[in-house]
Amino acid sequence: MSDDEKVEEKELDLSSPEVVTKYKLAAEIVNKALQLVLSECKPKAKIVDICEKGDSYIKEQTGSMYKNVKKKIERGVAFPTCLSVNHTVCHYSPLASDETVLEEGDILKIDMGCHIDGFIAVVGHTHVLQQGPVTGRAADAIAAANAAAEVALRLVKPGKKNQDVTEAIQKVAAAYDCKIVEGVLSHQLKQFVIDGNKVVLSVSNPETRVDDAEFEENEVYAIDIVTSTGDGKPKLLDEKQTTIYKRAVDKNYHLKLKASRFIFSEISQNFPIMPFSARALEEKRARLGLVECVNHELLQPYPVLHEKPGDFVAHIKFTVLLMPNGSDRITSHTLQELQPTKTVDDPEIKGWLSLPVKSKKKGGGKKKKGKGVEKSEGMEEASNGGA
């Protein structure tokens, strides 16, 4: 590929209808994959089996697309299926040998991603493994995440700044007596880039600073909201739990161990850009080889983080396209019925929730089937959390 072609590819954005189509195809697949994963979540089901099913579905569905095109189009898993339970915050996607199972009453956070030609759609969803409505503090955490997501959807739009969103989601969580979890970043998405330079901080504090940024038309964002009834400062308890990594393409180092060189070669060949699960590697060799790769920053780990036992943690993540006629949330799933203990009376939060997502000019007829229903349900849930 010539340098000109590379530049041209990098600049592809939502002004190209083909790019919009690829984002929406990836979103359709990941939404269905989430539905499949949820249907597999039953008491005594093994977490690793559920994660495998999510990844397999994405691989199968993307594998059947764009097969007969002249130029090979990369497609598949953009972020491995994670199933983080109760006070575990994120990135739990265990190895094949792990025997951990789900139990009745568990709070499940599902997180996954799909891409078509590098155009990425990610989704995160929280579900409590029980019949009937979710009540108490668990409902507060989920309602807070949902309301914060609905507010973020309305504030991530051209002309607004990343800091506006950070401040707003913290205010929403506080209304439910919850905290936004620190260290979670919402990133701009670009072709083959899952962690773009424009970032929305979940919590602004002196240790974590990001550049001020303004949202612009034709950009795409993965909005990532995690709430907790605890202090919102999750800890890494055991590095051995980390199984998701991404190759750091800008780093070089001559690995000393044969196992490390073998593993790194396999990663470079099969997972050159997107995050991957160590399940895809031979387990014994991987355990040995990954350590040296991480120590020398050839791989970026996605650590499994935990709040304190007894804390309720909820996660909602969605992909939004900043289209000329307004924001298009392309990944989501309807929540269970929630009966939170808190009500939201704050006029500023109610004002944010009443903002339109789409602009009035045309665009009404192009809604995807079922899309409007999901959005209004999300809004209703956000309001009901406070009505």
The model's pLDDT over 6-21, given as tens digits with 9 standing for 90+, comes to: 444 456 899 999 999 9
Taking the model in full, what pTM does it have?
Answer: 0.90
Do 190 and 334 reside in the same domain of the chain?
Answer: yes
Specify the DSSP element, H or E, that contains 220: strand 220-228
Do 274 and 319 reside in the same domain of the chain?
Answer: no
In angstroms, rounded to a whole number, what is the distance separating the alpha carbons of residues 319 and 232?
Answer: 23
Where do the H-state alpha helices sit in the chain?
3-10, 17-40, 47-63, 136-155, 162-175, 258-270, 283-295, 347-353, 371-384
State what percent of residues in the chain have pLDDT above 70.
90
In this structure, how many other beta carbons lie within 10 angstroms of the beta carbon of residue 316? 27
8: in domain: no
117: in domain: yes
Do 21 and 98 reside in the same domain of the chain?
Answer: yes
The boundaries of the domain holding residue 285 are 243-302
What is the CATH number for 260? 1.10.10.10
Average pLDDT over residues 34-59: 98
Q: What is the pLDDT of residues 77-89, one digit of tens each?
A: 999 999 999 999 9
Query: How far is Cα of residue 277 from the mean position of the Cα atoms in its chain?
Result: 15
CA angle 374, 377, 378 (to 5 degrees): 85
Do 140 and 289 reside in the same domain of the chain?
Answer: no
pLDDT at 10: 52
Closest CA to 185 of 233, 226, 142: 226
Do 147 and 229 reside in the same domain of the chain?
Answer: yes
What is the CATH number for 163? 3.90.230.10
Do 152 and 167 reside in the same domain of the chain?
Answer: yes
77: in domain: yes
215: in domain: yes
Closest CA to 378 of 218, 91, 152: 152
359: in domain: no
- Non-local (6+) Cβ contacts of 185 within 8 A are 195, 199, 200, 201, 202, 210, 224
201 contacts 187 by C-beta, under 8 angstroms: no
Do 343 and 257 reside in the same domain of the chain?
Answer: no
- Identity (one letter) of the amino acid at 361? K
DSSP 279: G
pLDDT at 263: 94
pLDDT at 373: 34
350: in domain: yes
Number of domains in the chain: 2
**Is residue 384 scored above 70 in pLDDT?**
no
The DSSP annotation for 153-197 comes to: HHHSSTT-BHHHHHHHHHHHHHHTT-EEPTT-EEEEEBTTBSS-S
Query: How far is Cα of residue 278 from the mean position of the Cα atoms in its chain?
Result: 19
pLDDT at 385: 47
In angstroms, rounded to a whole number, what is the distance separating the alpha carbons of residues 112 and 121?
Answer: 9
Q: How would you classify the pairing of strands 235-236 and 88-90?
A: unpaired
